[in-house]
A and B are shown apart, each in its own frame.
Chain A
Amino acid sequence: MSEKKKLHPLVEVDEPNFITEAFDYDLPPLIRFDSPVVEYIDGEPVRFDPSGVKTRDIHITDTTFRDGQQARPPYTIDQMVRIYDLMARMSGPNRVIRQTEFFLYTRNDRETLDRCRAMGHSSPECTGWIRAIKGDFRLVKDAQLKETGILTSCSDYHIFSKLKIDRKMAMERYCDVVDAALAAGIRPRCHLEDITRADIDGFVLPFVERLMEMSEQVPDELKVKIRLCDTMGFGISYPGAELPRSIPKLIYKLNVECGVPGDRLEWHGHNDFHKVHTNGGTAWLYGCDAVNTTLFGFGERTGNPPLEAAIFEYIALKGDLCGIDTTAITELADYMRSIGLPIPANYPFVGKHFNTTRAGIHAGGLRQDERIYNIFNTTKLLGRPPRVIITNNSGADGVAIWVNEFFGLTGEDRLNKIKIHRLARWVMDQYEREGRITAIGDEELETKVEELMPEYWEKYKGSRE
Chain B
Amino acid sequence: MPTVEQRVKEVTARVLKLNPEDIKIEHDFMSDLGAESVQSIELMAMFEEEFGIEMDEDAALSVETIGGAIKFITMVCKEQGVDV
Interface residues of A (CB under 8 A from B): 395-396, 416-419, 421-422, 424-425, 428
Contact = CB atoms under 8 A, between A and B. Distances in A.
Contact of A396 (B38, B48, B60): B38
Contact of A425 (B42, B48, B57, B60): B42
A418 B38 CA distance: 9
28 contacts: A395-B37, A395-B38, A396-B37, A396-B38, A396-B41, A416-B57, A417-B41, A417-B57, A417-B61, A418-B41, A418-B44, A418-B45, A418-B48, A418-B55, A418-B57, A418-B60, A419-B45, A421-B38, A421-B41, A421-B42, A421-B44, A421-B45, A422-B45, A424-B38, A424-B41, A425-B38, A425-B42, A428-B38
A375 to B, nearest CB: 26
Contacts of B60: 418
Contacts of A419: 45
A425 B60 CA distance: 18
* A-side interface mostly: helix
A440 to B, nearest CB: 15
Contacts of A395: 37-38
A428 B36 CA distance: 11
Nearest to A428: B38
Interface of B: 37-38, 41-42, 44-45, 48, 55, 57, 60-61
A429 to B, nearest CB: 9
A396 to B, nearest CB: 5
Given A424-B41, A425-B42, 18 more contacts: A396-B37, A396-B38, A396-B41, A416-B57, A417-B41, A417-B57, A417-B61, A418-B41, A418-B45, A418-B57, A418-B60, A419-B45, A421-B41, A421-B42, A421-B44, A421-B45, A425-B38, A428-B38
Contacts of B45: 418-419, 421-422
Nearest to B58: A416
Contacts of B38: 395-396, 421, 424-425, 428
Contacts of A417: 41, 57, 61
Contacts of A428: 38
A418 B37 CA distance: 12
B18 to A, nearest CB: 18
Contacts of A425: 38, 42
Nearest to A426: B38
B76 to A, nearest CB: 12
A302 B56 CA distance: 52
A242 to B, nearest CB: 55
A412 to B, nearest CB: 12
The 10 tightest CB contacts between A and B, nearest first, are A416-B57, A421-B45, A421-B41, A418-B44, A428-B38, A418-B45, A417-B41, A421-B42, A396-B41, A424-B38
A130 B55 CA distance: 71
A425 B57 CA distance: 17
A396 B42 CA distance: 10
A403 to B, nearest CB: 13
A376 B57 CA distance: 27
Q: Determine which residue in A395, A416, A425 has the highest number of CB atoms from chain B within 10 A of its CB, and name it.
A: A416
Contacts of B48: 418
Nearest to A419: B45
A369 to B, nearest CB: 13
A419 B60 CA distance: 13
A425 B37 CA distance: 10
Contacts of B57: 416-418
Contacts of A418: 41, 44-45, 48, 55, 57, 60
B41 to A, nearest CB: 5
B80 to A, nearest CB: 15
A428 B42 CA distance: 12
Nearest to A420: B41
A418 B54 CA distance: 10
Nearest to B56: A416
A165 to B, nearest CB: 71
A421 B42 CA distance: 6
Contacts of B37: 395-396
Nearest to B55: A418
Contacts of B61: 417
A417 B62 CA distance: 13
A352 to B, nearest CB: 27
Nearest to A360: B37
A428 to B, nearest CB: 5
A412 B42 CA distance: 22
Contacts of A421: 38, 41-42, 44-45
A255 to B, nearest CB: 58
A422 B44 CA distance: 12
Contacts of A422: 45
Nearest to A429: B38
B8 to A, nearest CB: 16
Nearest to A367: B57
Contacts of B44: 418, 421
